[in-house]
Structure 1
């Protein structure tokens, strides 16, 4: 299956490719107290909403990197729409390091690019100025899930997530967490995207997989994901 095309279709109506609402993303930007001219790097940036809206709201500048051509095109259109000083690079974010170093380096919801949370933090640190802030977005278990829910992934609890980054030498200096409503807006909106695609392209090579997903995903989500799985962004500063 063409994974990039799969994600492009499923998330075609989304600007934020994580379970954050516009307000939650804005809350995170305000919480960091970024001065005008602060420099940002966003790895696996998706459609660039973080970089674009923070540039609009706080006068920051930055670079986003993503492998998906459709997402990069959407990010560039968004930057042009808002008239902001943001650059987007189409390429593999894994191993991407920027010079000169930046004030904020982010990987929000794609820590697989560094082989997991701690590997991604090491990658982000290579682009950070001393005293800079790393942002990581990660799922976590809100409570002990049933075995069926564990099939979603091997996640830490929120205390386990915080302990892991602290043990790796980082201070947690801020956080903003998703909630059930913002999960709904991210996940449930994909079902309508799938249905409309199936109606318009019933013979597409992806149609069987999308039909299967639409037939099973809503019940699985409300049973095994919505009650148990959290997600949030941690803001971290490396200890001196």
Structure 2
């Protein structure tokens, strides 16, 4: 049980496996008003940068779960580097269906809503580990511009334009599910560039080091196409953000916007 090698190669140097940079990640931690002693569960935690830096900066503790052995080892090393290994731990495992033994203050799924089959199922999963009055963090793509051609849809890693909502559509949908949006931090063009362009360098360095590998041709073709596809399709069309949510008291369903 592990992530496919091409994904690991692409993100091998990343500490943050989404289009937030370290400044935005720190901004998010401050915006949440984290307090010492609060507990966090981070599902699909990647290399653990969020949990490790927030443990250092805000005194929280908790657990990260990820499917990649490479990333969980990197997370454990990062925790030791930042001196927070006594407060956070990381386990290799399936985040889909994972529920904490004891409810926590903050439950996160930042960029991996596949673990619950989409936004709705992921929020249901996260809520099962949440203390009453606690906060959920959801990282999710949205459309800046809804694509009308199959090439753009494919370049944005979607199967159809209906896979994602616009930002107003997403925020409205979260409200319709009974969640108050209490904070958000959105990727910008520069943080997207840093995320994607670093992937190209990672792939190129892997290609240089592995000319005879069975996946060489696949990753060579990917690098040939990825930069142009990104600047042509993904960069102008796709947004991404992290949304902090709290369950609305006395919630009753309201119609979800179709946008």
> More deviation in 169-178 or 196-205?
196-205
1:216 to 216, 225, 245: 225
Q: Provide the residue aligned with 1:205 in structure 2.
A: 214
Measure the CA separation in 1 of the matches of 2:176 and 2:42.
24
Q: Provide the residue aligned with 1:93 in structure 2.
A: 95
Q: Provide the residue aligned with 1:15 in structure 2.
A: 15
Aligned length: 239
What pairs with 1:145-164 in structure 2 (closer than 5 Å)?
Answer: 145-147=147-149, 148-151=151-154, 152=156, 153=158, 154-164=163-173
User: Which sections of structure 2, spanning at least 5 residues, go unmatched?
Assistant: 250-259
Runs (4+) of structure 1 exceeding 6 A deviation are none
Q: Provide the residue aligned with 1:117 in structure 2.
A: 119
User: Which sections of structure 1, spanning at least 5 residues, go unmatched?
Assistant: none
Spell out, residue by residue over 1:62-104, the C-alpha distance to the aligned partner (whole angstroms, 9 max, x if none): 1000011010000000001111110111100001000210000
Q: Provide the residue aligned with 1:50 in structure 2.
A: 50
Please report the TM-score for the alignment, with normalisation by the length of structure 2: 0.90
Q: CA deviation at 1:146?
A: 3.8
Measure the CA separation in 2 of the matches of 1:196 and 1:150.
28
Q: CA deviation at 1:144?
A: 2.8
Matched, 1:235 2:248: no
Measure the CA separation in 2 of the matches of 1:220 and 1:124.
33
Q: Provide the residue aligned with 1:135 in structure 2.
A: 137
Aligned-residue CA RMSD (Å): 1.0
Measure the CA separation in 2 of the matches of 1:3 and 1:109.
15
Q: Provide the residue aligned with 1:170 in structure 2.
A: 179
Measure the CA separation in 2 of the matches of 1:232 and 1:146.
22
Q: Provide the residue aligned with 1:186 in structure 2.
A: 195
Q: CA deviation at 1:3?
A: 4.5
